[in-house]
Amino acid sequence: MSVQAEILSSNGNTDVFVLEAHAATNNVYQAQVITSFDWFTDADKIGLTGGLTEEELDYMELIDFDEDGFLDDAVIKLKSTQAILGVVLNADDFVLEGEFIPIVSTKPPITCLQKVNIVSCNSSNVD
Ligand SMILES: [Ca+2]
Ligand SMILES: [Ca+2]
């Protein structure tokens, strides 16, 4: 089973994992964590609130956040402040490139209504 350590975490749904701009932190252990991002099978995306764009992010740093022995967990930082927006397990910069989409945060993303694995649906619930 150990050779499957890096197996992708497909759940059969195209999920949008929302990283809240205001939740950026300097402590990686307080950061939002995406545990089952699967771009390959599911075409999962990462949603950005607060008008953030991919160009404003630095996601080159890989750490072993889940302590599985692989430096395969990407830290997503804001270039401007180096604050940590989130951690994506089992992903690297190649995987993440082009996978960010803007979320207009006046409403929860449609996907929140029917999908699991959304990091922060509840906190983006604004009428
Ligand atoms: Ca998925
Ligand atoms: Ca790891």
Residue 127 confidence class, pLDDT cut points 50, 70, 90: low
The Å distance, Cα 41 to ligand 2 centre, comes to 20
The Å distance, Cα 41 to ligand 1 centre, comes to 8
The Å distance, Cα 11 to ligand 1 centre, comes to 5
The Å distance, Cα 121 to ligand 1 centre, comes to 16
pLDDT tens-digit map of 8-52: 578 888 999 999 999 999 999 999 999 999 988 999 999 999 899
Ligand nearest to the CA of 73: 2
Domain boundaries along the sequence of the chain: 12-119
Confidence at residue 105, expressed as pLDDT on a 0 to 100 scale: 57
Ligand nearest to the CA of 66: 2
Confidence at residue 109, expressed as pLDDT on a 0 to 100 scale: 53
Ligand nearest to the CA of 44: 1
pLDDT tens-digit map of 65-110: 999 999 999 999 999 999 999 999 999 889 999 999 998 855 555 5
CB 66 within 8 A of CB 89: yes
